[in-house]
Structure 1
């Protein structure tokens, strides 16, 4: 990325010869294919939530139920690191093709599973491929689209994640009931192959475009891959710690968090854990806001069904509304790229998420009308939609061709680890407060998420004062 291009991106001006949009003839099929791959990965992730009770009953896998969710998240971290390093060394073509192939293998193994062990192997392989594919697509964006279009393509990616939350669970349930849960996995294989064919123009463009300077090409980061393995193990340990008894829960949880933080340090830019200005703050903010939002969101439907008597489908409307405001805010921020600064977008977004979680705390603690938490979560979705695309744009703006893969994987790792650590922590809080009764377990989980969002707000202004640096670790 040249200095002139960076100036164009910073000023919001588009070069005279730049295409008008991500759906112009030059980028049409690349945009559709990339968004389709993101959509299908998101759909599969969300669909599993709906069909897992059927899978568990069919394969007699109740004891391994939680691992079906925690496993892909953990292996995804490994895929992110590996794909980021590979992309920085040789470009994103091979990592993208390989990650899609691995994702398809995972779908086939899970879809053909005859026992829970085989199913879990498929889920682990899926997570590995999905994590790597996400990073490879980020590098494709950096290499193909001009900086003036980054906000719009990432808004498209955000929408591709939100739309499955509207239709994924319902569609998966229909498929599982009409045929078999196996087809929720097997049927997606064909769609992934079709989406990959649409990305073929991107491969041709990358092969014919400028290549990174060989003198700046990094070596294979086997040490970082080992750290990713350790971080994944820590995430799994924390997610499983709530199943232990007595004091072991706290001991294992604290140990897992410490190991996760130690292991993640080589996988993210230097200064991330202390919120250094610029890229480190961007990476940390992504993890914190994911931890706050998703750590609270999983308990919204639970609160509505357990304390207010909502049906499962009705309680899901709160999440559907948030998905709609997320998509709307993502689209809007892409149109306000030259008007709304990155720092102000982060401040507004974190405030909206904080207000949403605070309303959830008040609803649970004071047993307010459920309309309060439902309306508040609409604000939370809007805050996330405002922030997520911008965080991706800023990550690429602080990157060079030699570290785009590392920085993109760091952003995804922060997102995954933040959400995983928060979900495990709120699970422990909920279990600890169940004995009190009432809505206090929910209030405790929301309160923890609110504290995390306050920390996120405190560093929101530190994201916009960094500079592009060639060293991948800085």
Structure 2
């Protein structure tokens, strides 16, 4: 169906699709932030504190399997079918968590939820590719980024209030119910569209799913390396071994040439993993820095993340509106450069004992850069795709994102523990700076897809 001239993502024929998709991203964001807030209460209520870390890392590991399965299914059949399975898995996992009588059952629910959430994002990307024309892809990704702003502002506080005045179980149950409602809007629109790939991919899937399981296990080993018995040496060996396993298993799951920054799609995939690792690995230490070094309360320590969420949305809107005019190389240099500036400022804030407003403001600049570049990599992955491999490329992008994030978090955690107290924060942020600078290498090799006149 040809859209009317001047049609935007918030106008017909895209309105219902946009509302449903953005609502699902919004709820996924709420779930992520809310669960982080209530999990200490959950662990205290159910016992099994030794499973606390697994409740997070396990969900992330199974999401890798969901990503690969969703990508293969979308390329063979229709992303609409994948969305049904993904939302059912996501909601079912949340319901299991809401009803969990023990921490073990809650972890099982998180594993199921991870399968669904991993498939959900990949399916949404393929739906964007097949429903919207290429000139609107940037605007859709900007709307996805904006959907994280409100959860970042109210998610933790809202989850805390629900836990305090009702019960933590309502946090899980509420998101499950809302997810079902959001998907109902999207499903009503998708039912009228034929999203089946015109040239289905018929390559074997079992091997890729097996590799996804290996990647998930490797990431689990990397994520839990800090808790390995035997001290720092054992932790480093476990993390290194897990990382090597992940890299070998990843190779068939990403485009050929990804690890050597081949121009075009491979560099897009690699850039995504590097900037995700630099940003999200550093971000988790910002509230810790504000509390430990500057004496902020937990509530005020979240200010840096709030500022970052707002500037990220601004950067994403900029990229969505004018990314084709600005050009991929400029966005890469600007985005990764601002991120490197922000992370280096966090390190200098400790060394030079700078005022607290400086790391907060500069983290806003770094998030602005991420908002410019992060959604652009999604747009480019779709621009380099055909209907035969949209699912594969979307899952590759998410896998790179996840591997980069979890690996950097694990390594930064080991560095933070092993470094002398005075060097802990500078060492962590220094590592983030190195990763951000390395991201410039593939960032300058993104090619010209999606640019004005191309």
Could you tell me whether the CA contact under 8 Å between 2:327 and 2:448 is conserved in 1? Answer: no
Match of 2:444 among 461, 465, 470: 461
> Within 2, Cα distance between the matches of 1:466 and 1:152?
16
Mapping of residues 141-156 of structure 1, within 5 Å:
141-156=128-143
Is 1:426 aligned with 2:412? yes
> Within 2, Cα distance between the matches of 1:296 and 1:266?
29
Match of 2:16 among 22, 29, 32: 29
Mapping of residues 123-202 of structure 1, within 5 Å:
123-202=110-189
- The unaligned stretches of length 5 or more in structure 2 are none
Could you tell me whether the CA contact under 8 Å between 1:277 and 1:465 is conserved in 2? Answer: no
Could you tell me whether the CA contact under 8 Å between 1:279 and 1:466 is conserved in 2? Answer: no
Could you tell me whether the CA contact under 8 Å between 2:3 and 2:13 is conserved in 1? Answer: no
Q: The residue matched to 2:155 in structure 1 has which SS?
A: helix
Is 1:444 aligned with 2:431? no
Distance apart, 1:466 and its partner CA: 6.9
Q: Which residue of 2 aligns with 1:471?
A: none
Q: Which residue of 2 aligns with 1:268?
A: 254
Mapping of residues 204-215 of structure 1, within 5 Å:
204-207=191-194, 211-214=196-199
Distance apart, 1:200 and its partner CA: 2.1
Match of 1:310 among 293, 296, 304: 296
> Within 2, Cα distance between the matches of 1:122 and 1:28?
33
Match of 1:81 among 61, 68, 85: 68
> Within 2, Cα distance between the matches of 1:256 and 1:177?
39
Mapping of residues 307-386 of structure 1, within 5 Å:
307-386=293-372
> Within 2, Cα distance between the matches of 1:243 and 1:385?
33
> Within 2, Cα distance between the matches of 1:372 and 1:408?
36
> Within 1, Cα distance between the matches of 2:6 and 2:26?
24
Could you tell me whether the CA contact under 8 Å between 2:92 and 2:113 is conserved in 1? Answer: yes
Q: Which residue of 1 aligns with 2:373?
A: 387
TM-score, length-scaled by structure 2: 0.96
Match of 1:222 among 206, 212, 217: 206
Distance apart, 1:465 and its partner CA: 4.8
- The unaligned stretches of length 5 or more in structure 1 are 2-14, 468-474
Q: Deviations over 1:211-248 (max 9, x none)?
A: 4334x532341101111100110111011111122321
- Name the stretch that deviates more: 61-70 or 284-293: 61-70
> Within 1, Cα distance between the matches of 2:91 and 2:204?
25
TM-score, length-scaled by structure 1: 0.92
RMSD: 1.6
Q: Which residue of 2 aligns with 1:8?
A: none
